[in-house]
Amino acid sequence: MQTIELLAPAKNKESGVEAILHGADAVYIGAPKFGARAAAGNSLEDIAQLIEFAHIYDAKVYIALNTLIKDDELQEITDLIHSLYAINADALIIQDMGILELDIPPIALHASTQTDNRTLAKVAFLESVGFDQIVLARELSLQQIKHIAQNSSSKIEVFVHGSLCVSYSGQCYISEALHGRSANRGECAQLCRLPYDLLDANKKIIAKDKHLLSLKDLNLSDHLEELIDAGVYSFKIEGRLKDTAYVKNITAYYRQKIDAIIAKNNNLKRSSSGISTYTFEPKPEKTFQRSTTSYFFHKPTESVFSVLTPKSTGEYIGTIIDIQKDFFVVDTTISIANGDGFCYISTKQLLEGFRVNKAIGNRIYPSEMLQMPIGTKIYRNADFAFSKLLHAKSANRKIAISISIQETNEGYLIEFCDENMNKACREIHIDNNKAQKDQQPNIEQQLSKLGNTPFYCKHISIIFTDNKFIPSSVLTQIKQTLSQELLLHRQVRYKPTRIVKTNSASLFPEKELSYTGNVSNNLAHKFYTKHGVIKIDKAFELEKRLPNPVLMFCKACIKDSIGFCPKKNATPFPYKEPLFLKYKEQEFLLSFNCSTCEMTIVQEKI
């Protein structure tokens, strides 16, 4: 049977708890330090509380330690890993191979997307040195994912939703080069979201003040069955910097999608326990969302870039069909509320926004009238009613149990058995008093009301020879006792995956590593040397004063986005190459390798 994991992000403990309640099989969260989102660190105490909560539902907690480590930090991260092991963390998500040379406990290791996992050879190597789960690069096609998943025994993890980096993960150095803020150290300055000019070799402006490196958001929700058939284990939602409302909405959306697939296939099962119910209908466009793309999952049929804005545009509402002095009319059937936030692309090709002061049907009275011609497309990026639902309690997650009660010689035997076959039972010694009328409905009602416990009664069996009377106070007390015992059984029974490090002699797929190998400490150097690499350069962060270094390695191509991919368009390119990106006084050279469909961005001058 194939197991499916829905993996959700957690900025903090609160988001992690909500991710679990809204259906996540696992969450990933940053430790106090060494996570690829430096702004999303968490205390060990908070992580321990999240782990204890998650394990009730057999859900896992993965800890992101996916930055490069410096030599003087090796002891600190060793101590941190021991602490995380002690609080029963399920796995570490790592980038730095020096961690494999540390004296650490047998905790499961996951290869971060920052390790740039694009080939079967790379995945096979990581598997051979002890990685239990491997995150593939977002740029891979379905065929590439399938080839890797079906030829490896490690669990394969794939991003299915969220923000996209224009560079291959772990291969972006522009933030470090310009601002000393390394993406590989969790401090990305988000330079890919800035506006740039595109110039040709004669400095002719091809595009001005456009977000030429800003990608749309990934959404593979229509391709989940294809990924399951390909052999993917873990379906990952991006967003450790996103707010809790986003986590609730997107987790619930993918939970429902995956559950619908599992329901029609007896060979599939989810990796955790319990069923989530919601007070809202999950819709991705109602929380943070740029326009979306399936990226390179299949050949893109439209641009993967969001050049007009890097911001969330949200839900498409409709087009303006009439404009009056203090209101306008939108061609829509969507319900609009006072206080909603709307946005649109202005005639100057800029994202503008406003609040709805009053809405009467599709007649919108904005807080102030703006220059919006008829035909303007209107989007809602702040849904007041939806936001209100998500800021309240919006989900419950309950584990199914069966309850049985039967007579014994000295009273009654009551048993609680959950969906994972954990059991708690007690015999109560009271007189078998006969009742004048049928007490079964009352007994069922008393035992099945499980209140604030993580359980719900799916089935109850009452085996009496005739009508019996049991005081409600006795039933309530035994119900509370057995619920607590069953919860304790679940917590004691749960055992995180533990994997002892291997002494593999496997050879790394490459013999030489440039700065893109991200070797930032002596133990990482030792690791690669042990696995056959004969030339190892230092990480860019340690030795970045290189002549005209490549700062980004990209699958997404600007030339394609402006309609001049030579594989798609035979029209001669009307501009003189090479092309350049310009931001303020900084220029970057664009280089195109059309045989591999890749683009690099080179630092031209500082």
The answer on 235 and 148 residing in a single domain is yes
Do 384 and 404 fall into the same domain? no
589: in domain = no
pLDDT in tens, 250-294: 999 999 999 999 999 999 999 999 999 999 999 999 999 999 999
Q: Which of 128-137, 199-208, 388-397, 490-499 has the lowest mean pLDDT?
A: 490-499
Mean pLDDT for the stretch of residues 593-598: 93
602: Cα separation from own chain's centroid:
30
Classified as helix, coil or strand, 45 is: helix
User: Which has the closest alpha carbon to 577: 259, 321, 230, 204?
Assistant: 204
Q: Please state the separation of Cα 558 from the chain's center in Å.
A: 27
Quote the distance between the C-alpha of residue 478 and its chain's center: 41
Whether residue 553 is contained in a domain is answered as no
Q: Which of 334, 358, 391 is the last residue of a domain?
A: 391
Query: ω before 578 within 30° of 0 (cis)?
Result: yes
In a domain, 405, yes or no: yes
pLDDT band for position 545 (cuts 50, 70, 90): low
- Cα angle, residue 165 at apex, residues 229 and 585 outer, rounded to 5°: 160
Give the pLDDT of residue 116. Answer: 97
Residue 422 in domain: yes
Same-domain status, 404 and 386: no
Is 333 in the same domain as 476? no
User: Do both 380 and 412 map to the same domain?
Assistant: no
510 domain residue, yes or no: no
Domain termination residue (choose one: 360, 391, 422)? 391
Q: Are 160 and 235 contained in the same domain?
A: yes
CATH of residue 340: 2.40.10
Asked whether residue 512 is domain-assigned, the answer is no
Helix (H, G, I), strand (E, B) or coil at 342: strand
Cis peptide before 282 (omega within 30 of 0): no
In a shared domain, residues 355 and 405: no
The percentage of the chain sitting over the pLDDT mark of 90, rounded to a whole number, equals 85
CB atoms within 10 A of CB 499: 13
Which residues does residue 462 pair with via DSSP β-bridges, in sequence order? 405
Task: For residue range 26-84, list pLDDT tens digits in order.
Answer: 999 999 999 878 777 899 999 999 999 999 999 999 999 999 999 999 999 999 999 99
CA 279, 283, 286, 290 torsion-angle sign: positive
Residue 506 DSSP class: P
Range with the poorest average pLDDT among 90-104, 253-267, 462-476: 462-476
Q: Residue 173 and residue 184: Cα distance in Å, rounded?
A: 8
pLDDT of residue 573 exceeding 50, the answer is yes
pLDDT tens sequence across 142-170? 999 999 999 999 999 999 999 999 999 99
Mean pLDDT, residues 399-417 = 93
Per-residue model confidence (pLDDT) at position 606: 44
For residue range 340-399, what is the model confidence (pLDDT) as tens digits?
999 999 999 999 999 999 999 999 999 888 889 999 999 999 999 999 999 999 999 999
User: CA angle, 394 as apex, 392 and 396 as ends, to 5°?
Assistant: 130
In a domain? residue 179: no
Beta strands in 332-409 (DSSP E): 341-345, 351-360, 363-366, 377-382, 395-408
Domain-ending residue, one of 493, 520, 552: 493
Measured CA to CA, the distance from residue 598 to residue 115 in angstroms comes to 18
Q: Confirm if 425 and 447 have CB atoms less than 8 A apart.
A: no
Which long-range CB contacts under 8 A does 384-387 form with residues at least 24 apart? 384/337, 384/338, 384/339, 384/340, 384/341, 385/335, 385/337, 386/280, 386/283, 386/286, 387/245
138-145: average pLDDT: 97
| Residue 411 pLDDT exceeds 90 | no
Average pLDDT in the chain: 94
Q: Tell me if 193 is assigned to some domain.
A: no
* 206 to 53, 485, 587: CA distances (angstroms): 54, 69, 14
Helix (H, G, I), strand (E, B), or coil: what is residue 178?
A: helix
Contact between 170 and 515 under an 8 Å Cβ cutoff? The reply is no
pLDDT band at 605, cuts 50/70/90? low
Domain that holds residue 456: 400-493
The stretches of 231-272 forming alpha helices (DSSP H) are 244-263
| Locus of tokens 């990924």 | 227
Domain total in the chain: 3
Same domain, 383 and 409: no
Cβ neighbours of 408 (radius 10 Å): 11
- Region 174-192: what's the mean pLDDT? 92
Task: Report residue 393 as tokens.
Answer: 């309690």
Together in a domain, 153 and 77: yes
CA 458 to chain centre: 31
Query: CATH code at 69?
Result: 3.20.20.70
Query: Parallel, antiparallel, or unpaired for β 351-360 and 108-111?
Result: unpaired
- Mean pLDDT (whole number) for 412-419: 95
- Name every residue whose Cβ is closer than 8 Å to that of residue 281 and which is 6 or more positions away in sequence: none
CB distance 557 to 592 below 8 Å: yes
One domain, residues 387 and 404: no
7-to-22, 30, 221, 572 alpha-carbon distances in Å:
11, 14, 14, 46
* Same domain flag for 11 and 113: yes
Do 237 and 365 lie in one domain? The reply is no
Q: Which residues contact 421 (CB under 8 A, 6 or more apart)?
A: none
Q: CB-hemisphere CA count at 13 Å for 74?
A: 16
